[in-house]
Amino acid sequence: MNDLSIVIPVKFQDDCWQDLVTELLSLPGEFEIILVGPDFDNKKSDSPRIRFEYCKEGRARQQNHGAQVASKTFVWFLHADSRLSNRPIQKIEEKLKENSEAIYFFDLNFLTDGPRLMILNSIGAYLRSHILKMPFGDQGFFLARRTFFSLGMFDEAARYGEDHLFIWKAHYRRVPVIPANAELFTSARKYKNIGWITTTFRHVVLTYKQAIPQLIKVIRSKNKRKFTTAIAIFVKTPGASPVKSRLAADIGIEKAEEFFKLSLKATEAAVIEAIKKSDGKIEAYWAVAEKDQLTNPLWNSFKTIPQGSGELGERLATIYSKLQKRHKKVFLIGADLPHLDYKTLLRAFYKLTSSSEYVLGETEDGGFYLFGGRRIIERAIWNSIPYSSDQTSAALINKLGKGNFLFLEPNFDIDYKVDLEKLVDYPTETLLKEQLDVIYWAKVNL
């Protein structure tokens, strides 16, 4: 399978991943293997298929980081002590033809390094995952990146069971959790070292202590609208359409496209962080200008939606109205503000849950970098606004009524070389790595 990133979290000074990687490399396909751990600072790989990523220890944190840096459409989370059965990837490929939006898991079996009673644990894991729909992370979750991000990723604050809590998020959002009908093997050493009875009893108690309140939450949510808030990011596809035309006139087409790709990554990272901090209460979309580019690998992190045809007002109206049918609240942003930090997105999210009907982030040139609303807006209003004007935000406020708005702090987007010069001096305290990369690029290229 070529469109697959395999993410493996590795503990400090642990080398059991080497046997797993050897097994993986024997499988067919051009998938990438991403090893994430505290020992991998500046570690380079001799294989183009293997990447080492530094991350502080913490399985949820490491797996989230691996998914964020992954380049493929699907991600497979494996533990370092996992071992493969026959044809695991082929089994998944078969299942994906049925439903590419589901979460798949493997049946769990144990290696012979533990007590003989581990057969009972295998049976228990089968019943727990097939009957109760509660697979654990050592069963190799396999899913689309966009599904992983839409569910808010693994909970990095959880003291234990981040994999278990992730599956409950899926149940809450009605995402199918389906067996892959293949096995994974894992080590049983801890059952031998700590004791079978002690370890098994502890796992059962912690599992149901965590599961019962989550089950109650799912039951109570049965008739509620699930996806409360949407963020649509308006983008063009580099190579299919000209990007950053005004900036290209200042610095050249090639550099403008370089900037735009970095800006996309920065925007993606900020939105992912906002989704994570909101515990998955935000659903992100790439609003793509070209209908034939919806499956482009650039857009594999979020769902895609076509902007439609017409001028900007018509396209804004199309996206806003479509998403309002699926969501209670809708935000519209662009990808030309790479320094837009996730905290600003969260402030907008929380402002719109208060008494306001709309939230607006204005730009210094009279436009806006963020619009959020929870009311139906007539298409004629969107089309009556003078876009790319110093009166854009003023006209929108006038049409919808200033008293209905709450405002974010003003900011600037990157349209010209002078904006890049301002970006170089922008405060970096709250920015993510991908956003800092854009500022570094600007410093080097100005």
Beta bridge partners of 178: 104
| Number of independent structural domains in the chain | 2
- Both tokens of 85, joined, read 């059965």
Going from the C-alpha of 231 to that of each of 188, 195, 330, 374, the distances in angstroms are 44, 49, 6, 12
d(CA 42, CA 62): 16
Does residue 376 share a domain with residue 244?
yes
d(CA 77, CA 138): 9
Greatest alpha-carbon span in the chain? 75
Identify the three-state secondary structure at position 238: strand
d(CA 295, CA 277): 27
Q: Residue 440: is its pLDDT beyond 80? A: yes
d(CA 287, CA 285): 6
Q: Closest by alpha carbon to 2, among 24, 26, 25, 30?
A: 30
Give 227's pLDDT tier (boundaries 50, 70, 90): low
pLDDT tens for each residue of 245-272: 999 999 999 999 999 999 999 999 999 9
Does residue 278 share a domain with residue 188?
no
Does residue 268 share a domain with residue 188?
no
Give 328's pLDDT tier (boundaries 50, 70, 90): confident
Does residue 280 share a domain with residue 177?
no
Domain containing residue 339 = 229-445
Does residue 140 share a domain with residue 12?
yes
Does residue 23 share a domain with residue 158?
yes
What's the distance, CA 330 to chain centroid?
18
Q: Residue 86: is its pLDDT beyond 80? A: no
- Both tokens of 398, joined, read 């006038």
Does residue 274 share a domain with residue 362?
yes
Residues 6 or more apart in contact with residue 78 via CB below 8 angstroms:
6, 7, 8, 20, 140, 184
Does residue 309 share a domain with residue 183?
no
Q: Strand pairing of 103-110 and 177-186? A: parallel
Does residue 195 share a domain with residue 302?
no
Give 93's pLDDT tier (boundaries 50, 70, 90): confident
Q: Closest by alpha carbon to 239, among 253, 221, 224?
A: 253
Decide: 235 and 154 in contact? Cβ < 8 Å.
no
Calculate mean pLDDT across residues 107-124. Answer: 94
Calculate mean pLDDT across residues 391-404. Answer: 96
d(CA 75, CA 78): 10
Calculate mean pLDDT across residues 399-412. Answer: 95
Q: Residue 360: is its pLDDT beyond 90? A: yes
Using a pLDDT cut of 90, give the percent of the chain over it: 85
d(CA 318, CA 310): 10
Does residue 289 share a domain with residue 205?
no
Give the chain's mean pLDDT: 93
First to last CA, the chain: 41
d(CA 214, CA 155): 14
d(CA 248, CA 279): 38
Identity at 13, one-letter amino acid code: Q
Identity at 218, one-letter amino acid code: V
Does residue 200 share a domain with residue 256?
no
Q: Closest by alpha carbon to 419, among 369, 366, 364?
A: 364
Does residue 178 share a domain with residue 146?
yes
Decide: 79 and 182 in contact? Cβ < 8 Å.
no
d(CA 238, CA 303): 18
d(CA 411, CA 340): 8
Q: Strand pairing of 405-407 and 50-54? A: unpaired
pLDDT tens for each residue of 57-72: 999 999 999 999 999 9
Alpha-carbon dihedral 394, 376, 280, 207, rounded to 10 degrees: 150
Rg of the chain in Å (alpha carbons): 24
Q: What angle do the packed helices 417-424 and 433-445 form, to 10 degrees?
A: 120
Q: Closest by alpha carbon to 323, among 279, 368, 377?
A: 377
Question: Where is the domain boundary, 192, 220, 248?
Answer: 220
355 vs 308: which has the higher pLDDT: 308
Question: Where is the domain boundary, 176, 201, 220?
Answer: 220
Question: Where is the domain boundary, 196, 220, 244?
Answer: 220
Give 223's pLDDT tier (boundaries 50, 70, 90): low
The CATH number given to whatever domain includes residue 249 is 3.90.550.10
pLDDT at 222: 66
pLDDT at 175: 94
The H-or-E segment that residue 142 falls in is: strand 142-144
